[in-house]
């Protein structure tokens, strides 16, 4: 499956604006420039990825397949794919919680 024309994938692999994110390990602020998708935390040295746009990961039914294709094609590193898959799991868990709490008619 090819995701070249997917509107959400460009935010995962393409250039980004200058942004900051807190390191998930130590909390230090990490700055990302233009086309960086990952950089080392200045506090602890951990490889930190930019936060993915929640748009395609949160709504796309093909997100898991897309991540597999991007990883196998060498467009994202395994650590990035793992982080994005954690987001997918949260989405699935949230969806499961939401739908199981609905009354059955």
> Tokens in use for 14?
């393409």
Is the pLDDT at 21 greater than 70? The verdict is: yes
Q: What is the C-alpha to C-alpha distance for residues 48 and 82, in angstroms, rounded to an integer?
A: 12
**Dihedral sign (CA 65, 60, 84, 21):** positive
Task: Supply the pTM of this predicted model.
Answer: 0.47
Cα angle at 63 between 25 and 89, to 5 degrees? 50
Mean pLDDT of 57-86: 85
More confident residue, 52 or 63: 63
How many residues are there in the chain? 105
Confidence band for 82, pLDDT divided at 50, 70 and 90: confident
- Specify the pLDDT at position 62: 86
Q: What's the confidence (pLDDT) of residue 45? A: 95
């Amino acid at each position: 499956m090819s995701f070249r024309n997917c509107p959400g994938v460009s935010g995962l692999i393409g250039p980004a604006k200058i942004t900051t994110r807190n390191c998930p390990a130590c909390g230090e602020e990490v700055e990302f420039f233009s086309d960086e998708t990952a950089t080392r935390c200045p506090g602890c040295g951990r490889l930190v990825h930019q936060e993915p746009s929640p748009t395609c990961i949160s709504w796309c039914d093909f997100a898991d397949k897309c991540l597999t294709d991007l990883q196998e094609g060498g467009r994202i590193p395994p650590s990035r794919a793992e982080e994005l898959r954690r987001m997918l799991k949260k989405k699935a868990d949230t969806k499961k919680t939401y739908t199981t709490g609905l009354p059955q008619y």
